[in-house]
Structure 1
Amino acid sequence: MSSERRTYSLEVAVQPPSVANPGTPFYPPLVARVHIYDSNGVEITGEDELSGLFAQATLYRESGSPPPLAPPDMYLLSGRLSASLDLLNEPGVPPVSGSSWSEQKGSYVMFPDLIINRAGRYRLGVSLFKVEGGAPLRSPSSAINGGAGGGTTLEEAKTNVIIVQEGGARAEQIDLATEELLEHLRSRGAIVPSPPSRC
């Protein structure tokens, strides 16, 4: 693994729906992009350290201010809350003509089955962690919380507000960029949930 000093940034690439029913998985699923930069500020794939990086989803009040609601409330937010990172594209594979996503570097993490089980107004947070033994860290937020599971917190990003209410979910128009990203992830072998039935 390279000993160069790297920086990390995290962004929500696919926002969950703005309105959802309690107990119902989100569509579209929450997807976060991870960018890794070398010591010269050039974006790299970071494939040599992906095994040491993982992300965790947490649930906050509408303000997004800590502490999170879930965890520790193990009922409020369910689904797969921790996930490893995957490369957005395979290094050395030529980009697909007409697909802007096939030219992108970096990695992503998807939470395909998140469910909020009680009505309310919330934000989801995604935190990026690096386990001990990886490359040296240099990130503005690297001191946050001291990490989890023996790792170090690198970055955190929060979603827009999600209103959870009975009978509140509606079919939302998904923008073209989101649709293209989800289709790109499917083409890479990711299991992306299907849109809910409109029946």
Structure 2
Amino acid sequence: MARRFNNTHSLDGSGRSYSLQVAVQPPRVARAGAPLYPPLAIRVHICDVETGEEISGEDELNNLFAQATLYGENINSPPLAPPDMFLLSGRLSMSLDLLNDAPGESDEDAAPLSRQQGSYVIFPDLVINRTGHYRLGVSLFKVGGSRRGRSSEDPHGGGTSLEEAKSNVIIVQEDSAPVEIDPEEQQFLEHIRDRGIMVPSPPST
């Protein structure tokens, strides 16, 4: 069953807007202590405020990074991890990559993702270590310069928060669960794998 993307939007002081879209949802049911599959992946869209056109954002990619946070299932619940450093493990802070180096807008035979602008971030090895019902949140941060984001400084000392998106609910249990992935999400993972990005394989059954 297809799961709708979570999309959020924010402006900063540079004449650009930023939106986050959950391109690959984490699993609906996961095993405690095991890496999440599918891995959470986020599309980052950067638009020129004056023209409304999406741009690659390549010129500021080195100043942007994403941070994963674990919440309870209530969309407005406070963060659980951090501060709980055991509950969520793996690489919680990740840099962004371009979705395409040169989008092939004129190539009508190219796959749709190959014709798109923007960047993305993938969290390949997140692990939730206790049973329960959770959501993952991903915040986009910018370092350097003066920016007006949704909130002030990142509590981890990383920069200014621009935007956050949250995943669907994840049920974490003691037992393993069958892998479920939407075809569009599978296509996204295959696209970035073809670009040389290390994407984890489904767990063996």
| TM-score for both structures, normalised by structure 1 | 0.89
Unaligned runs of 5+ in 2: 1-12
1:4 Cα deviation from its structure 2 partner: 5.0
Partner in structure 2 of residue 188 of structure 1: 195
Code of the residue aligned with 1:126 in structure 2: it is: V
The sequence identity of aligned pairs, in percent, is 63
What CA RMSD, in Å, does the superposition of the two structures yield over aligned residues? 1.9
Which residue of 22, 42, 45 maps to 1:12? 22
Partner in structure 1 of residue 134 of structure 2: 122
Unaligned runs of 5+ in 1: none
| TM-score for both structures, normalised by structure 2 | 0.86
- For the 8 Å contact 2:144–2:159, the answer to whether it is kept is yes
Which residue of 46, 59, 64 maps to 2:75? 64
Matches of residues 32-71 of structure 1 in structure 2 within 5 Å?
32-40=42-50, 41-71=52-82
- For the 8 Å contact 1:34–1:107, the answer to whether it is kept is yes
Which stretch shifts more, 47-56 or 57-66? 57-66
Pairs aligned (count): 190
Deviations along 1:93-118, whole A, 9 cap, x unmatched? 67683411101110000000000000
- For the 8 Å contact 1:16–1:27, the answer to whether it is kept is yes
- For the 8 Å contact 2:104–2:114, the answer to whether it is kept is no
Matches of residues 1-199 of structure 1 in structure 2 within 5 Å?
5-40=15-50, 41-91=52-102, 97-133=109-145, 137=147, 142-148=149-155, 149-172=157-180, 174-198=181-205
- For the 8 Å contact 1:4–1:39, the answer to whether it is kept is no
Code of the residue aligned with 1:7 in structure 2: it is: S
- For the 8 Å contact 1:96–1:102, the answer to whether it is kept is no
Give the match's secondary structure for 1:156: strand
Code of the residue aligned with 1:99 in structure 2: it is: A
- For the 8 Å contact 2:64–2:95, the answer to whether it is kept is yes
Code of the residue aligned with 2:71 in structure 1: it is: Y
Give the match's secondary structure for 2:191: helix
